[in-house]
Chains A and B, each alone.
Chain A
Amino acid sequence: MKILVPVKRVVDYAVKIRVAPKGVELNNVKMSMNPFCEIAVEEAIRLKEKKIASEIVAVSIGPKQSQETIRTALAMGADRGIHIETDLRTDQELQPLAVAKILKSIVEKESPNLVICGKQSIDADAAQTGPLLAGLLDWSQATFASDVAVEGESLTVTRETDAGIETLKLGLPAVVTADLRLNEPRYATLPNIMKAKKKKIDVLAADSLGVDLTPRIEVIEVKEPATRKAGIKVADVDQLVDKLKNEAGVV
Chain B
Amino acid sequence: MLARQLVRRISSANRSFSTLVIAEHNQKEVTGGTLSTITAASKIGNDVTLLVIGSQAEGVAQAAAKIAGVSNVLHAKDAKFDHLIAEDVTELLLATQKEKNFSHILAPSSNASKNYLPRLGAKLDSAPISDIIAVADKDTFVRPTYAGNAIAQVKSSDAVKLITVRPTGFEKAAVEGGSASVSAAPEAAAAGKTQFVSEEVSKSERPDLGSARVVISGGRGLKSGENFEMLYKLADKLGGAVGASRAAVDAGFVPNELQVGQTGKVVAPELYVAAGISGAIQHLAGMKDSKTIVAINKDEEAPIFQVADYGLVADLFTAVPELTEKI
Contacts and interface: CB of A to CB of B under 8 A. Distances in A.
Interface of A: 11, 13-14, 16-17, 19, 24, 91-92, 95-97, 100, 119-120, 122-136, 139-144, 146, 156, 159-171, 179-181, 212, 215-225, 228-229, 231-234, 236-238, 240-241, 243-245, 248, 250-251
A96 B127 contact: yes
B14 interface: no
B201 A164 contact: yes
A160 B257 contact: yes
B238 A251 contact: yes
A169 B195 contact: yes
Given A142-B194, A236-B312, A135 B149 contact: no
A180 B246 CA distance: 9
B18 interface: no
B147 A135 contact: no
Q: By DSSP majority rule, is chain A's interface helix, strand, loop, or mixed?
A: mixed
B195 to A, nearest CB: 5
A131 B119 contact: yes
B2 to A, nearest CB: 12
Q: By DSSP majority rule, is chain B's interface helix, strand, loop, or mixed?
A: mixed
A135 to B, nearest CB: 3
Interface residues of B, number: 88
B293 interface: yes
Given A171-B194, A222-B152, A161 B199 contact: yes
Given A92-B152, A119-B263, A125-B131, A144 B305 contact: no
A180 B140 CA distance: 32
Interface in B152-179: 152-158
Contacts of A248: 271, 291-292, 309-310
Contacts of A165: 199-200, 255-256
Contacts, number: 267
B150 A223 contact: yes
Given A131-B115, A251-B271, A220 B140 contact: yes
Q: Which are the 3 A-B pairs with shortest beta-carbon distances?
A: A135-B122, A216-B127, A135-B119
Nearest to B149: A17
A181 B129 contact: no
B111 A144 contact: yes
Given A217-B127, A240-B294, A234 B152 contact: no
B151 A216 contact: no
26 contacts: A16-B149, A17-B150, A24-B146, A96-B127, A128-B130, A135-B90, A135-B121, A136-B122, A140-B193, A141-B119, A159-B111, A164-B257, A167-B196, A168-B194, A168-B197, A180-B250, A216-B157, A224-B149, A225-B149, A225-B288, A233-B313, A236-B312, A236-B314, A237-B319, A237-B323, A251-B214
Interface of B: 1, 24, 83, 85-87, 90, 110-112, 114-123, 125-131, 140, 144-158, 193-202, 214, 238, 246, 249-250, 255-257, 262-263, 265, 270-271, 281-282, 288, 291-294, 300, 305, 307-314, 319, 322-323, 326-327
B120 A135 contact: yes
Contacts of A217: 127, 129, 154-157
Contact of B146 (A17, A97, A143, A212): A17
